[in-house]
Amino acid sequence: MSAVTSENSNAGLPLVSVVVPVYKVERWLDRCVSSIVHQTYKNLEIILVDDGSPDKCPQLCDEWALQDARIKVVHKKNGGLSDARNEGLRKSSGKYICFVDSDDYVDSRMLSILHPYQIRQYDIIQFGMVQEDEYLKTIGYINFPEEEVIGREEVLTHFFSEYRMPSLACRIFKRNLFDKVDIKGRNIGIDEMVILQLMGKADSLISIGDVLYHIYVRNNSVSRSEYSKERIYEITQVHDFLWNYIKNQPNTLKKYILIKNIQAYLGMVACCEQEVWRQEKHRIQEGLNEYMEYAKQYGIWKPVKKQLGKGFTLYRMNHNAYRTIQRIRRI
């Protein structure tokens, strides 16, 4: 089943706001904006938020606005990704909102998924993405199973049971979900904190199998680098937020978050710079122990431990051996 329609008529269809934060992406910006401009779904506005970019991006944004009246450009001082997204939201007027990162690009049919589904008024529509390198070579796919999810608890359960992409990309949101949800924080983990709040407010969600979003994976991606002290702080903040948000939910949801949080802390054990590990070792271990105790307290220790697998068992036996083996594997 393909949910995407090639129909060109957009009569009566709602306005969609596409928010694009822009910072130091002059190499990829034209590709990104062109892919949005050439959507088969025409009732859209494109909000380019120049986040104080020091390259030619501000000029490129203005040039695009001269070419297409649907494009709005916001120039602002650099405030980071979350600040740029918030500014784009403030300037938007669509019934639906979606976000595109400015070094990514999208299929021309992406917004057309609203055509068959907007009558049902789903709060969130999500679709697949393909990960590509700088030569557009496919690295991998992230797909969702095709299904309809109705009910607030059911939406959250679906999100955590799949947890394929905790991202604002590859999703279209009904605008009212953003009421009282502020996209704040640093760059690491912003999507996870915001998407959790949005999922927690959604009463309906539809997943489709089409792959419509192309995400550029850079070789110097932060996910591949060693963790600095600042990044350790940001990661712990994100996962503390996730736990505090979900700890009063049913045990099924607690299990998903505890697994994710323990995995994040294990990642810190494996990926810290040596000096950072020396300084932060005890704090990281205390965090791990705290989440393990929560799993025991709520009677879900066995499924959590089983899901975490052999790597977690090795960590519990000898955390130094675990760190050494994981660092060798990263080379």
Domain ranges of the chain: 16-216, 225-330
Residues of the chain with pLDDT > 90, as a percent, come to 49
Q: Which CATH class is domain 16-216?
A: alpha beta
Higher-confidence residue of 241 and 45: namely: 45
Q: Which amino acid appears at position 118 of this protein?
A: Q
Lowest-confidence segment of 134-138, 164-168, 169-173, 255-259 by average pLDDT: 164-168
- Residue 310 phi, psi (nearest 5): -70, -35
Q: In this structure, are residues 142 and 68 in contact, taking their beta carbons and an 8 Å threshold?
A: no
Spacing of C-alpha 137 from chain mean position: 22
**pLDDT the model gives residue 219:** 66
According to the model, what pLDDT value does residue 183 have? 63
The pair of structure tokens assigned to 69 is 């009246």
Question: Mean pLDDT across the stretch 13-17?
Answer: 93
C-alpha to C-alpha distance for 247 and 304, rounded to whole angstroms? 15
pLDDT value at 17 more than 80 = yes
* Cα four-point dihedral sign 73, 76, 80, 85: negative
List alpha helices for the chain, DSSP H. Answer: 29-37, 57-67, 81-91, 114-117, 152-162, 190-201, 229-246, 251-271, 274-297, 301-317, 319-330
Closest CA to 287 of 222, 233, 249, 330: 233
pTM: 0.83
CA distance 229 to 101: 26
Q: Which of the residue ranges 106-110, 252-256, 280-284 would you say has the lowest mean pLDDT? A: 252-256
pLDDT of res. 279: 92
141 — phi, psi (to 5°)?
-120, 150
Task: Calculate the average pLDDT of the chain.
Answer: 87
The answer to whether residues 29 and 57 touch, using CB atoms and an 8 Å cutoff, is yes
Burial class (CB in 10 A: 0-12, 13-18, 19+), 282: exposed
pLDDT digits (tens, 9 = 90+) for 23-60: 999 999 999 999 999 999 999 999 999 999 999 999 99
- Can you give the pLDDT at residue 162? 63
Distance of CA 51 to the CA centre of its chain: 19
Residue tagged 């062109």 (tokens): 34
Is 242 exposed, middle or buried, given 0-12, 13-18 or 19+ CB atoms closer than 10 A?
Answer: buried
pLDDT, mean of residues 240-268: 87
Average pLDDT of 290-317? Answer: 91
Q: Is the pLDDT of residue 164 over 60?
A: no
- Residue 272 is classified by DSSP as B
- Rg over CA atoms, the chain: 21
